[in-house]
Structure 1
Amino acid sequence: MSVGTKIRKLRLQHKMSQEDLAHKLNVAQTSISNIEANKSIPDFLIMHKICQVFEVDFEYFIDKNNSNKVKKAEYSNIGCTNGTINTIPEGILENMLKRIEDIEKIIVVK
C-alpha cells in the first residue's frame, strides 16, 4: 500500500476531510489530494506532522511486506545516533535534503 493510500485510509478512519487535514498540516487541500493520489510525496516535515495528527509511528508508512521487492536504489539508509539504521523512501529523503539546503541558504543570507 502506498504512502498516499495509507494517509487517505487514516484520514477516513478519523472521519476527517482533506480540508480538515490540510488545515491541521498548514498546507493546501490540493496538496493532500496530490499526496493521496500518489502524484506527490510529502516531505519529512509533513510526514512528521501526519504522524502526530494520526498518532502513528513513521514505520506505519513503510511497507514491510513489499520491502524485499523494492529495488535497493528506491531506499536509502540513514544512520542514527543510537546506532540503528532507518530505511526511508527515496522521494522523502530527497525532499528532506532539499529542505535542508533551502534552510542553509536562508541562514547564510541572514
Structure 2
Amino acid sequence: MSIGSKVKRFRETKGISQGDLAIRLEVAQSTISSIESDKNIPNSVLLSKIAKELEVDMNDFFEDTKTINNVYDNNDKVAIGFGNNNTFTVSGLSEKVLELYEERIKELKEQVEYWKSQSKGSK
C-alpha cells in the first residue's frame, strides 16, 4: 500500500475530510488530494505533520514497502536514487513491475556499452 493510500485510510478512519486536514496542516486541499492519489509524495516535514494530525506513528506510513538501497550488476553500481543517498523507495509496486524496471535498466546499460564501443571505433 502506498504512502498516499495510507494517508487516505488513516484520514478516513479519523473521519476527517481532505479540506479539514488541509486547514489543520495549513496547505491547500489539492495538496492532500495529490498526496492521496500518489501524484506527489510529501516531504518528511509534511509527513510528520500529517502523522501528528492523524495520531499515527510515522513508521506506519512505511510498513509494507520495499526499499532498494543499491542495485549492483556486474560489480557496477546502478544509481537508482532519491535524494543524495542513492535510495529509491518502492511502494505498492508488484514484483512484475520491478522486474520490468530491472529489465529496462539492463537494456539501457547495453545501449550505453554499444555507443561507447561505436565511439571508440570511430576514433
Structures share a fold, TM > 0.5? yes
Number of the residue aligned with 1:57:
57
Equivalences for residues 38-77 of structure 1 within 5 A: 38-63=38-63, 65-67=64-66, 70-72=67-69, 73=80
Moved over 2 A (4+): 70-76, 87-90
Are 2:68 and 2:89, in contact at CA under 8 Å, matched by a contact in 1?
A: no
| Deviations 1:56-103, CA, capped at 9 Å, x for gaps | 11110113x342xx4334678x8xxxxxxxx9949xxxxxxxxxxxxx
Residue pair 2:65, 2:89 contacting (<8 A) in 1 also: no
Distance 1:74 1:55 in 2: 30
2:68, 2:88 within 8 Å by CA — same for their partners in 1? no
The count of corresponding residues between Structure 1 and Structure 2 is: 78
Which blocks of at least 5 consecutive residues in structure 1 are unaligned? 79-86, 91-110
Deviations 1:17-37 (A, max 9, x none): 100000011000000000000
TM-score by length of 2: 0.55
Change (3 A) 1:35 1:43: same
In structure 1, give the amino acid aligned to 2:10: L
Identity %: 36
Distance 1:52 1:21 in 2: 11
- Pick closer, same or farther for the CA change 1:31–1:5 going to 2, 3 Å: same
SS at match of 2:7: helix
Where structure 2 has 5 or more consecutive residues not aligned to the other structure, the ranges are: 70-79, 91-123
RMSD: 2.6
CA–CA distance in structure 2, aligned partners of residues 66 and 48 of structure 1: 18
Q: 1:66 to 1:28 in 2, by over 3 A?
A: closer
